[in-house]
Amino acid sequence: MGRLIRPALLAEHRLRIVDRVAGEVRPGEEAVIADLSRPGVPEQALAGASGVIHLAADPRVAASWEEVYHANVVLTRRVLDAASARGVPRVVLASTVHVMGEYNRPEHRPVDPAWEPRPCCSYGLSKVVVEALGRLHADRTGASVVGLRLGGLGYALDEARYLGMWLSGRDAGALMRAALTAGPGWSVHFGMSANTRRHWDLGSARKLGYAPQDDSEPYAATAGPPATVTCRIFDDRENPPAGTEQPGGFR
């Protein structure tokens, strides 16, 4: 996702890219090759920053709670603590639609981001905690903190179940730019393109200035059935099929 949104961000900002591996550095960017989980690295990365977009995470829906807790919750807390220490006024946190995964049923659609979270897997649960950390950070520091419950980005739309939650690279860049304009305090929004089959309400994101341009519908004719059952978020039936259980008792 970082690679896809950087061109849009460079139109208005200088960027400091933090990653564990080296990559292409474009004009207007500087690179910090480091592991954010190591002591002092988040503080180094955020020195002099006017904002941070935190994307680092373990996004596997089949990962155990222990795995996603350390990769998502612990790391986010370190980044937020560093943002507080450095006085960074704007924070954007990558959350996920899996935070609201149990609402992805016909009787609940469209899903309102203001509803109480109902995660569908350990990954979604970890992002519920990440969102709580973001709200706590906003309350304590007065910073602008935006949680974005992102859909699917950066892969082929070869399965019909992804059509509703698709987020194009162009729209992802526009969404991040809009999130960086939010006023002080905590807010949370869905992040998808303007998909015909979208089940997620983009009203609050549009109020930030997000105006998605793309739609997954052109891919619908060639999008097939799911290859495997990976998570309950994709199952519309009251009784999900066997094989959807995930480590830690979550589906």
Q: What amino acid positions are annotated as catalytic residues?
A: 123
Alpha-carbon torsion (130, 182, 177, 158), positive or negative: positive
How many other C-beta atoms are found inside a 10 Å radius of the C-beta of residue 132? 14
Angstrom distances, CA of residue 177 to CA of 3, 146, 174: 14, 11, 5
The number of C-alpha atoms within 13 Å of 134 and in the hemisphere containing its C-beta is 28
Q: Which amino acid is at 239?
A: N
Alpha-carbon torsion (103, 108, 112, 116), positive or negative: negative
Residue labelled with tokens 């905590």: 186
- Among 160, 164, 156, smallest CA distance to 97 is for 164
* SS3 call for 171: helix
Residue 207's Cα: distance from chain center in Å?
18
State the Cα–Cα distance between residues 155 and 162, nearest whole angstrom.
10
Are 157 and 224 contacting, i.e. CB atoms less than 8 angstroms apart?
Answer: no
Where does residue 110 fall: left (phi above 0), alpha (psi -120 to 50 degrees), or beta otherwise?
Answer: beta
